[in-house]
Amino acid sequence: MYTQAMDTAPPDVLAPVRNADEAAREAAFEARVAAGAFVEPQDWMPAHYRRTLVRQISQHAHSECVGMLPEGNWVTRAPTLKRKTILLAKIQDEAGHGLYLYAAAETLGTSRDEMLQALHSGKAKYSSIFNYPTLSWADIGTIGWLVDGAAIMNQVPLTRCSYAPYARAMVRVCREESFHQRQGFDSLLVMMKEGSEAQRAMVQDAVDRWWWPSLMMFGPPDADSPNSAQSMRWGIKRLSNDELRQKFVDACVEQARVLGVTLPDPELKWNEARGHHDFGPIDWAEFWRVVGGHGPCNTERLGARVKAWDDGAWVRDAALAHARKQIMKEAAA
Ligand SMILES: [Fe+2]
Ligand SMILES: [Fe+2]
């Protein structure tokens, strides 16, 4: 779902020194992309474009997979069979998103093992939103509404990303994210309209905890996103972090009114002159703390992914042994 970390790369990925030939090739590449052309894996591309995409797509893939963890622990506790099947389907979708995205990143020449190694060693990031705990059933609906909702805002422009395999993956992913957002909203709506006072309070509490981290999913303010301008020029990004965040806030205000929940921001109000809602300051110190590994669940989330990798070693070994056997059989035939 989730691509916030795309702008949190260190400055060492900024444009490298090039010779005249490379600079000319890069200028031609940028002109092609600016004219709306898509880039396929076999096409020439600047090394920095390739690195940026590997970083962004692999972080996106990691986020899809880590994102299953906060929801997975609610499958057995979903209140009805209907909610359980919906949640199972959603979590399976997220696994599928992770797989499409690892495959898309592999077309750039980096293996899945290398990407996972980067995740497990802490070098690669995933969306910081998944380092928050899911404390009640209302958290699951709220994740669907706000977190998948923010993911859609982020990802719809990526269906026009200049790197074609990523753009193609995003078309299907966005359709599924739309279902995720709706199931979350529906789950909250039922509790708000037909539930008890305690259920309504549970929903409000979940919204209070998830609202601000959801706004952080769009990444740091434009002024603090040193890689954004380059990504916009390359057609990787189509809208800036602040533009996307504003669209999300504007959409959520109306949805919150329908639900009957209060968004936890006393400064949230319509600004007639701007044609948008103003909102209060985001606690970026918290964002950087969580991205830096010190959120409530960072250790638990990464630990779960490393354990899944270790526990799956026998499956990988068996698959490799089978493949070797097949090759030997074919060679002997
Ligand atoms: Fe997803
Ligand atoms: Fe999703």
Banded model confidence at residue 17, pLDDT cuts 50, 70, 90: low
Asked whether the predicted pLDDT for residue 152 surpasses 80, the reply is: yes
Chain length of the chain: 333
DSSP string, 49-93: HHHHHHHHHHHHHHHHHHTHHHHHTTTTT-SSHHHHHHHHHHHHH
**90 C-alpha to center of ligand 1: Å?**
8
Which of 4-18, 98-112, 175-189, 287-301 shows the lowest mean pLDDT across its residues?
4-18
Can you name the residues that pair with 304 across neighbouring β-strands? none
Asked whether the predicted pLDDT for residue 42 surpasses 80, the reply is: yes
Which of helix, strand or coil describes residue 277? strand
Closest CA to 78 of 173, 183, 212, 208: 183
pLDDT at res. 5: 43
Can you name the residues that pair with 189 across neighbouring β-strands? none
pLDDT at res. 22: 84
Which of 18-22, 54-58, 245-249, 320-324 shows the lowest mean pLDDT across its residues?
18-22
pLDDT at res. 19: 81
Asked whether the predicted pLDDT for residue 11 surpasses 60, the reply is: no
Average pLDDT of the residues of the chain: 93
Q: What percent of the chain has pLDDT over 70?
A: 95
Say which residues have a Cβ less than 8 Å from residue 11's Cβ, sequence separation at least 6: 226
pLDDT at res. 312: 96
**94 C-alpha to center of ligand 1: Å?**
4
Measured between alpha carbons, how far is 305 from 67 in angstroms, rounded to an integer? 11
Q: Which ligand has its closest atom nearest to the C-alpha of 94?
A: 1
The mean pLDDT value for 93-104 works out to 96
pLDDT at res. 18: 72
pLDDT at res. 16: 60
Which residue matches tokens 């959520």?
A: 252
Which of helix, strand or coil describes residue 270? strand
**148 C-alpha to center of ligand 2: Å?**
5
Q: Which ligand has its closest atom nearest to the C-alpha of 145?
A: 2
Closest CA to 303 of 292, 311, 314, 315: 311
**For 82-94, what is each residue's pLDDT tens digit?**
999 999 999 999 9
**51 C-alpha to center of ligand 2: Å?**
25
**For 121-146, what is each residue's pLDDT tens digit?**
999 999 999 999 999 999 999 999 99
Asked whether the predicted pLDDT for residue 326 surpasses 60, the reply is: yes
The mean pLDDT value for 289-300 works out to 94
Q: Which ligand has its closest atom nearest to the C-alpha of 181?
A: 2
**317 C-alpha to center of ligand 1: Å?**
29
Q: Which ligand has its closest atom nearest to the C-alpha of 62?
A: 1
**258 C-alpha to center of ligand 1: Å?**
25
pLDDT at res. 233: 86
Closest CA to 109 of 49, 19, 190, 196: 49
pLDDT at res. 6: 47
β-pair type (269-271, 276-278)? antiparallel
Asked whether the predicted pLDDT for residue 2 surpasses 70, the reply is: no
Measured between alpha carbons, how far is 192 from 212 in angstroms, rounded to an integer? 21
The mean pLDDT value for 295-307 works out to 96
pLDDT at res. 95: 97
**64 C-alpha to center of ligand 1: Å?**
5
> Residue 290 carries which DSSP code?
I
**140 C-alpha to center of ligand 2: Å?**
11
